[in-house]
Structure 1
Amino acid sequence: MENIDAVKQRIRGASVVPVITPFHESGSIDFDALKNMIDWQIKSGSHAISVTGTSGEPSSLTTEERVQVMETAIKAIDGRVPFLPGTGSTNHDETMYLTKKAYEIGADAALVIVPYYNKPNQEALFKHYKTVADSVDLPIIVYNIPGRTAVNLHVDTLAKLSQECPNIIGVKESNKDFEHVNRVLLKCGRDFLLYSGIELLCYPMLAIGGAGSISATANVAPTKVAEMHNAWNEGDIKRAQDLHYDLMPLNDVLFKDTNPAPAKAALGMLGKINPTLRMPMDVPPKEVQDEIKSVLDSYGSELKDAAANK
């Protein structure tokens, strides 16, 4: 494994894009569109790539398909930026299998979601993550998203994991409790990598010492999201703030329906993908699609030109 400190340095201050999984109208994976999406993201300035996270509809993919998506992604990235695939599942053995696969194909780290639906208690969560971390020589970023898993990974549990598992190096917090995310760095240490998964907290998270964001919005506006991080990293606070507020209308509309349906609708409008989702997910209602189009139009030709020129 690459030195953990070197990995942390490469992914600190990063806009990590949780790339959607494109499908053909038939529902099969459109691997060519996936490769094109990844190439566009990198050329647009995104700092790192993730796949098969929430935005990638992992629960709608078979285990074999998740491996295929990871393998396609790492080939498309071709070493240009770090690769942090999502390997978590509600099934412990599947999480172990996918995390080991991520290591085998050369991922830089794995993003491991809190198991959903099962609602494990804190001790069970500790055992789950420790077993995964101990099984593979790969940096692990925990993914805490209580709104979709129905359980919140407590700060004390995360701190214990960070102390006992040297390769648990950070967390993606899709957690609207800003007191909670402040306490993550207090308890886990300021060197712990804290990523925002809540779009309106991406900039505020940087201000408290966060390491960046893993934002669904970056699928649609990769340059703007990356530039916000670049501005912060360069000390241009006003520019970072301006981009934060500039992105707010897009952030808002992309969560008018369940992610990634609005993001896929927007990417379809920009001509990047077929906006198909797999059942039980479906396209957003017409009124939400109309709102998405209106917001995209409000940016003038900026987003459309960016999508067309890369």
Structure 2
Amino acid sequence: MISFEHIKDRLRGISIAPVITPFNESGSIDFGTLEHLIDWQIKSGSHAISVTGTSGEPSSLTIEERVQVMETAMNVIDGRVPFLPGTGSTNHDETMFLTMKAHEIGADAAMVIVPYYNKPNQGALYKHYKTVADSVDLPIIVYNIPGRTAVNLEVETLAKLSKDCPNIIGVKESNKDFEHVNRVLLHCGRDFLLYSGIELLCYPMLAIGGAGSISATANVVPAKVAELHNAWNEGNLKRAQDLHFELMPLNDVLFKDTNPAPAKAALGIMGKINPTLRMPMDVPSKELQEEIKNVLKDYVDLKNSVANN
């Protein structure tokens, strides 16, 4: 049986940046900008990279496009940091295919979302994840985001999966129920990798033994989000707390509309992307765009940012 302890050590105490998928005005994927964004993330201090998660608009991409995005990311990363692409879908066979493709291209782990729209029961979720996990010798990070999927992966189901599937090594909890996430570590074990997908819980989850965060805000200020984790790892709790509160206004404004629309708007204001989304998503209102710009001024030198991109 393969041991996954080595990768668990690499994936603890880190900021994993869930990179957006940039589009041209025509709606085609802007692969050149994607390469630039990933390189910028790594140079800014992000400890790992994910693509085609919620921030990457996977439900708006074809399966072929998702593979192209994963392959592009893998080539740009070139082993500099761990790579954890999102491979989940509402379709079981697609999830199987994308997870096996992630293994084939050499990803460090796969992030597999709870199937959305279908609302499977807990027994069905167990069967889905076990089948996927059994198909690859690749670490799996379960992605629980009940606000998007309309079903919550219960702690008991996750605990059974963690015991029955050695390669299910962690979970991204985009779950505002802090009692739930505490019970994840109680029942799955303190060495289980627990990541926050809720921006205001990134610091609190570290305090209970969490492994880090996968925060959409890292798309906009990767250095700040990574620094919070660096400060925590160095035992500088005051600095980590300060960064937690410093980031709150930006976290708040980036979730006044559906992710990743505000993050893309922010990156557009910074001159890094064309903030196009594929329908049925669309850009935030002009009022919210102006609010995003005003908040950004406290975090980014917009004049230099635009000039340098």
TM-score range, shorter chain: over 0.9
Poorly superposed stretches of 4+, deviation over 6 Å: 306-310
RMSD after superposition:
1.4
| Distance in 2 between residues matched to 1:200 and 1:126, nearest whole Å | 29
Report SS of the residue matched to 2:142. strand
Residues 142-161 of structure 1: pairs in structure 2 closer than 5 A:
142-161=142-161
For 1:79, give the aligned amino acid: G
| Distance in 2 between residues matched to 1:304 and 1:137, nearest whole Å | 47
Which residue is 1:73 aligned to?
Answer: 73
Residues 1-310 of structure 1: pairs in structure 2 closer than 5 A:
3-299=3-299, 301=301, 305=304
For 2:296, give the aligned amino acid: L
For 1:185, give the aligned amino acid: L
Aligned 8 A contact 2:220 2:266 in 1 = yes
Deviation larger for 138-147 or 1-10: 1-10
Q: What displacement does 1:298 show?
A: 2.7
Aligned 8 A contact 2:2 2:137 in 1 = no
| Distance in 1 between residues matched to 2:88 and 2:2, nearest whole Å | 22
Report SS of the residue matched to 2:202. helix
Q: What displacement does 1:48 show?
A: 0.1
| Distance in 2 between residues matched to 1:304 and 1:163, nearest whole Å | 52
Q: Give TM-score, length-normalised by structure 2.
A: 0.98
Report SS of the residue matched to 1:143. strand
Q: What displacement does 1:290 show?
A: 1.0
| Distance in 2 between residues matched to 1:76 and 1:304, nearest whole Å | 27
Report SS of the residue matched to 1:283. coil
| Distance in 1 between residues matched to 2:63 and 2:71, nearest whole Å | 13
Q: Give TM-score, length-normalised by structure 1.
A: 0.97
Gaps of 5+ in 2: none
| Distance in 2 between residues matched to 1:68 and 1:255, nearest whole Å | 28
Q: What displacement does 1:299 show?
A: 3.1
| Distance in 1 between residues matched to 2:138 and 2:224, nearest whole Å | 30
Report SS of the residue matched to 2:289. helix
| Distance in 2 between residues matched to 1:306 and 1:184, nearest whole Å | 40
Report SS of the residue matched to 1:55. helix
Q: What displacement does 1:304 show?
A: 6.3
For 2:192, give the aligned amino acid: F
Q: What displacement does 1:153 show?
A: 0.2
For 1:207, give the aligned amino acid: A
Report SS of the residue matched to 1:288. helix
How high is the sequence identity, in percent, across the aligned residues? 83
